[in-house]
Structure formats: structure tokens, C-alpha cells
Amino acid sequence: MTVVKQKTMKLNDVKKALATLGNIEFQLPDGSRVPVHFHVTEVGSVSKRFIDCGGTVRTENVVSFQLWEAHDYDHRLAPEKLLRIIELSEKTLGLDANLEVEVEYQGPTIGKYGLEFNGDTFLLTSKTTACLAEDQCGIPAQKPRIRITDLGKTNTTCKPGGGCC
């Protein structure tokens, strides 16, 4: 199992968004916000090389931001400063600005999130896992779900021998 690719921002998109902001806000999937006194403690390049359950070797590359909050409640990270941190990371680490961004944030354990932007706020999006080789794992195709209340409402023109039942 591995993380399913979902729509998330690329580093270039983050830089463009930062250039439009007066302050930075991150919203968690449950609607709560990362406290405004957060720090970005890491900007990094993460490469994962693995083999899936079907025997295919795969590689995933992302840019990672790690958000952290301390007890320095007067701290506020300005968009310009985060932009400078990102630019230094690109130069020093050779980051590809076309890579997707993954955000780590401490909850009960370290959570990994995708990243979107709604014009004002960065949205941390939930990530899920899935099998990348379902065709080789013997996982049966999912049957369509039918509501019992809908039975009898469809195929009202079905006739014996018509092939619809």
C-alpha cells in the first residue's frame, strides 16, 4: 500500500500564492487552523523508492514542509520570509519547483497532508493509501451499492426474456 496521488500544489504554486498574501494561514482538514505562531522548521526534498505488492519498482519525489508550533506566541512567519526560505532551499538542495508539496504537522502523531490554496488560506488536505497493483492482488472488483428503497424503481419496462433481469 502507498499514498494515493491526489491533487496538491506544486512548489511553484506555493511561491505564487505567497507573493499575494499579507499573512500565512494553514487550515487542517477538520476546519481548525494551525496556530498563527507556527514555524516552518524544514523545507526538504523527499524521495521514496519502493516496490509495490505486484513487484513494480516505483519512485515518488516531493518537496516537504514541516510545520511546528512552540510557545513563542508572538512569532509570526511573514510570506516574504517563507519565500526566502523556499528560494534558499531550491538553491541549496536543488529542489525542483515542479514537484508537489507535502506538509508534515504534529497532531497525536506526525500527519502528512497534501496542500491546496483557496485564495486566502493554505488548506492541508487528507491523504489516503491504496494498492497500486490491484489487478495483481486478487482484490475483487467493487460491486455497485444499491439502496433497498430503490429496488423496484428501475427497469420498470423489464419483460421476461428481455435480458434485463
What digits encode the pLDDT tens for the residues 81-128?
Answer: 999 999 999 999 999 999 999 999 998 899 999 999 999 999 999 998
**pLDDT over 90 (residue 132):** no
CB atoms within 10 A of CB 159: 9
The reply to whether 67 falls in a domain is yes
The reply to whether 155 falls in a domain is no
Phi-psi region of 31 (alpha: psi -120 to 50; beta: other; left: phi over 0): left
The reply to whether 20 falls in a domain is yes
Structural domain count of the chain = 1
The reply to whether 159 falls in a domain is no
Ordered DSSP codes for 35-91: -TTEEEEEEEEEEEEEE-TTS-EEEEEEEEEEEEE-S-TT----HHHHHHHHHHHHH
Give the per-residue pLDDT at 110: 93
The reply to whether 13 falls in a domain is yes
Give the per-residue pLDDT at 1: 45
Range of the domain at 47: 2-133
The reply to whether 141 falls in a domain is no
Task: Using a cut of 0.85, tell me whether the model's pTM lies above it.
Answer: no
The reply to whether 158 falls in a domain is no
Give the per-residue pLDDT at 13: 98
Give the chain's end-to-end CA distance (angstroms, integer).
Answer: 38
- Does residue 146 or residue 116 have the better pLDDT? 116
The reply to whether 153 falls in a domain is no
**pLDDT over 70 (residue 5):** no
Amino acid identity, residue 37? H
pLDDT per residue over 44-82, tens digit each?
A: 999 999 999 889 999 999 999 999 998 888 889 999 999
Q: From CA 139, how far away is CA 147, in angstroms rounded?
A: 23
